[in-house]
Amino acid sequence: MSSLKIINANIFTPLGREAARGEEMSRIKHIPEACVICEDGTITYAGPMADAPRCEADKTIDARGAAVIPGFVDSHTHLVFGGYRAEEFDWRLKGDSYMSIMERGGGIQSTVNATRTECAADLADKARWFLDRMTEMGVTTVEAKSGYGLETATEMKMLDVIDSLAADPDARIRVVPTFLGAHAVPKEYKGRTGEYVDLMIREMIPAAKGKAEFFDIFTEKGVFEIDESRRLLQAAKDAGFRLKLHADEMVTLGGAELAAEMGAVSADHLLHVSDEGVRAMAEKNVVATLLPLTAFALREPYAPARKFIDAGAPVALATDLNPGSCFSGSIPLTVALACIYMKMSPEEALTALTLNGAAAVGLAAETGTIEAGKSADIAILHFDSYKFLTYYVGMNCVDTVISRGKIVKEPLKA
């Protein structure tokens, strides 16, 4: 049995075991002079020091003067990939569009070529480097997608890599696997999208079962359009997957409405969502996972966060770390863009990156808040309020990170 105690804590946390919607997203519980007790990776007490059970812990952290918040959940990443695409970024700076690069065989297909030839051990090593960067920023749970194989063997190789990262006994971050075989139509099937959809239904979805909890798809004009997406999502649902969509990212296509129709857990991106799509998602409680770094890096308009929140939908924020549209993964910059350009409040941003991120990966009962019974996933800031997450613009102010009860990042010595 291992135990950890945080004393003199200034806790700021959303509360609950399901996504916060609409104005609930602004409710941040503040417990000053608090104590958090963690036993065997689980929070057993979070409340005023005066009421805390008396116990000796193996390790005690004095958090005087620091804000104590839930660890972040990055609920949308493409963490595992071969190669890089630095030249594409230059092309885009000079005016090329993301979709035009993809249409001429670059983009996702270029990462697919590299991922098919790279061995599992190299892919895993590379992903671990990015996981370390995430720990630095206070991320304790991350979702990781396949999607750079687009053939059964490589998709399974990617899912096995993700599984090895999740199962690593030294892992500092919980990893949630998502199968994204429907990320693009591979070059071998160019012009034969229907046949690739058939292959996915016949071979890839059954093979991915048991290796991933979520099924995701790039529902986009010229990639998988609405009818093809519906067919794939239905097959995945029938096979027992929970659903996610890359929806309305480049054009308004009705991806948000489809997410609501199919009972998806989340629809992500949504830069060009229609008002009807916003309403449909709010009504069906589909988490709107907004990815401001992607809009920023693509020079696209930001997703309408306020419309979602005002309609009563749950909003999550995530990074979309990937080698193409958004080679970043910065939590501080995500918060900055969300609050400065998408008009989210610091309270909403905190909820979106913790409790609602957890809900987007089906883990709201396990993590995302500081409450007894939840996993001990906690970040301690250098400053005494969560407001510094926005005020210290684009900068990392996380000093200490606790993941599943273990200290995985400690402050640098002054």
The residues binding ligand NIG (CB under 6 A) are: 78, 107-108, 111, 218, 246, 249, 294, 320, 322-326
Residue 39 near Fe ion by CB under 5 A: no
Distance CA 284, CA 188 (A): 37
- Quick one: 24 or 320, whose CB is closer to Fe ion? 320
Q: CA 158, CA 146: separation in Å to the nearest integer?
A: 6
Least distance in Å: CB of 183 to ligand NIG?
6
Considering the complex, what minimum distance in angstroms separates the CB of residue 114 from ligand NIG? 11
Q: Distance between CA 63 and CA 41 in Å, rounded? A: 19
Q: Which of 262, 253, 187 has the alpha carbon at shortest distance from 224?
A: 253
| Choice between 249 and 377, CB closer to ligand NIG | 249
Q: Which is nearer to ligand NIG, 186 or 324 (CB)?
A: 324
* From ligand NIG, Fe ion, none, interface partner of 34 (C-beta below 5 to 8 A by class): none
Smaller CB separation from Fe ion, 220 or 320: 320
- The 10 Å Cβ neighbour count of residue 181 is 32
DSSP tag of 200: I
Restricting to residues 295-324, name those near Fe ion by CB under 5 A: 320
Question: What would the DSSP string read from start to end of 314-349?
Answer: -EEE-----SSS-----HHHHHHHHHHTS---HHHH
Q: How far is the CB of 120 from ligand NIG (least distance, A)?
A: 19
CB of 269 to Fe ion, least distance (A): 7
Nearest to 149 by CA among 188, 192, 91: 188
Per partner kind, with CB cut-offs from 5 to 8 A, the member of ligand NIG, Fe ion, none near residue 178 is none
- What is the widest separation between alpha-carbon atoms in the chain? 68
269 vs 279, beta carbon nearer Fe ion: 269
User: Shortest Cβ distance from residue 360 to ligand NIG (Å)?
Assistant: 14
| Nearest residue to the partner Fe ion, using Cβ | 320
Contact, 277 vs 255, CB < 8 A?
A: yes
Residues that bind Fe ion (CB under 5 A): 320
